[in-house]
Amino acid sequence: MKKIFLAIFLFTFFITLKAEQNEFRIAKQYGIVYLPLIVIENHKLIEKNAKEVGLENVKVSWVTFSGGAGANDGLLSNSVDIISGGVPPAVILWDKSKGKVKAIASLASQNMVLVTSNLHVKSLKDFTDNDKIAVPSVKVSTQALLIQKFAAKEFGIKNYDKFDYLTVALKHPDALIALTSKKSEITAHFAQEPFTSIELENKNIKKVFSADEVLEGGFVLNLISATEKFYNENPKLVSVLIKSLNEANEWINDNKRASAELYVKVTNSKESADLIYNIINGGDVIFSTKLRNITAFSDFLYETGVIKNKPKEKELFF
């Protein structure tokens, strides 16, 4: 009998020592808020920190999605291990997976601005059927949800989706081109930096409203998330990711000019490093893992029936 228990113990012990995967697949999106991930990739922080915890020859691969819907699909199809994106898509995925997908940490906080080339528009209420608003993903992106919150505030919760038909899914770089070219149906873009600053340099484009006018007190814009399976099976890789994220944030805050130059170089951005530096240095973007106003999104998603379960903030995180 003792031999049987010993065999079971040893089997369980060696199972727990199962080697972590040696490929780490991480997804990011477009915008300055993803700068920490750009720094991690460019400085090879994961590879460096992985070796320090005994994980040799970790191969890190990167992919860029245009919006939260695509990122969610990538995680559920197991084509990536880590996704980054807005809070609403993360909350929806938490609900859809029944808590099997959660956030690991926040990525950044930043205000966003809805701009338009329709100079007759003074408020969201002034848009007509001839207008189209570009957002990363319809219905599920942070921008789409903020439009819904505005509609709910102005017209009641039952009309929260009043302006959904005006939204079009378009990745930020393409939306920038569409809005400024005047050769597209796109007459508005709800974006984040650096796209907002670039668009507002055009005299024919103006601000309609900013996100903090809809959601007072500011909020975390982006989270990094993973499946429960990956999180449990790869504790060292998760700790390496968090350490790398903190290192990247520290480097950005200590090297803002170099960070701006890196962003322009890596993204092949047409904007100047000076513009990016002014955005980073202006304090509008906060690179930090601290949480702000997460439940403002989850409460609204529950209230509108998009999610079936109303989470507490701690339930959304590992």
For residue 101, list its beta bridge partners: 227
Token match 């429960």: residue? 228
Do the Cβ atoms of 33 and 222 come closer than 8 Å?
A: yes
Convert the pLDDT of each residue in 217-261 to its tens digit. 667 888 999 999 999 999 999 999 999 999 999 999 999 999 999
130 lies in the same domain as 151: yes
Out of 158, 189, 214, a domain closes at 214
Do the Cβ atoms of 288 and 222 come closer than 8 Å?
A: no
Instruction: Name 239's Cβ contacts closer than 8 Å, sequence gap at least 6.
Output: 53
Do the Cβ atoms of 283 and 261 come closer than 8 Å?
A: no
Hey, what are 211's tokens? 């996100």
pLDDT tens, per residue, the chain with 318 residues? 544 444 444 444 444 445 688 889 999 988 888 999 999 999 999 999 999 999 988 999 999 987 778 888 999 899 999 999 888 989 999 999 999 999 999 988 888 899 999 999 999 999 999 999 999 989 988 999 999 999 999 999 999 999 999 999 999 999 999 999 878 899 999 988 889 989 999 999 999 998 888 877 667 888 999 999 999 999 999 999 999 999 999 999 999 999 999 999 999 887 899 999 998 998 778 888 877 778 889 999 999 999 999 999 999 999
Out of 214, 243, 266, a domain closes at 214
CATH number at residue 169: 3.40.190
Instruction: Name 88's Cβ contacts closer than 8 Å, sequence gap at least 6.
Output: 68, 140, 141, 142, 144, 145, 297, 301
- Strands 113-116 and 206-210, how do they pair? antiparallel
Please compute, for residue 123, the number of CA atoms within 13 A of its CA located in the half-sphere on the CB side: 6
| Domain around 143 | 113-214
Out of 193, 214, 235, a domain closes at 214
Convert the pLDDT of each residue in 258-305 to its tens digit. 999 999 999 988 789 999 999 899 877 888 887 777 888 999 999 999
Q: How many domains does the chain have?
A: 2
pLDDT at 217: 65
249 lies in the same domain as 163: no
Q: How many angstroms separate the Cα of 80 from the Cα of each of 62, 75, 121, 178, 265? A: 9, 5, 41, 30, 25
Tell me the whole-structure pTM to 2 decimals: 0.81
d(CA 296, CA 211): 13
